Amino acid sequence: MTWSVSPITDPIRAYKAHKASAKQRGIPFRLSFADWWRLWIERWDERCAGAKLCMCRTDDRGAYEPGNVRIDTRAGNNADRARLRK
């Protein structure tokens, strides 16, 4: 999968874009803005920046929902995906 770096700096616009992207990919999105923001608030400046952080689903399965998501590097997310394909 190819990742694109998000130029969106406004959290509400980024949340809406994430929700729309999940819908387009057929992935349920059950995070309120408050849930989503709680995960990002302390690392917002690192989002899609040098560390290339992203929101990941556990085992890259299920919905974006509380208890099934975490913030990780893209490399960490890709490693999980590769591990699951074996």
Query: In this predicted model, what pLDDT tens digit does every residue of 4-51 receive, in sequence order?
Result: 445 567 899 999 999 999 999 999 999 999 999 999 999 888 876 555
Q: How confident is the model at residue 1 (pLDDT cuts 50, 70, 90)?
A: very low
Task: Report the length, in residues, of the chain.
Answer: 86
Overall number of domains in the chain: 1
Q: Is residue 77 part of a domain?
A: yes
Q: Is residue 50 part of a domain?
A: yes
Q: Is residue 1 part of a domain?
A: no
HSE of 29, CA atoms in CB hemisphere, 13 A:
16
Q: Is residue 6 part of a domain?
A: no
Structure tokens at 36: 């989503």
Q: Which helix (H) or strand (E) holds 56?
A: strand 53-57
Q: Is residue 30 part of a domain?
A: yes
Measure the CA–CA gap between 80 and 58, rounded to whole angstroms: 9
Taking the complete model, does pTM exceed 0.85, yes or no?
no
Q: Is residue 5 part of a domain?
A: no
Residue 78 belongs to domain spanning: 11-85
Q: Is residue 3 part of a domain?
A: no
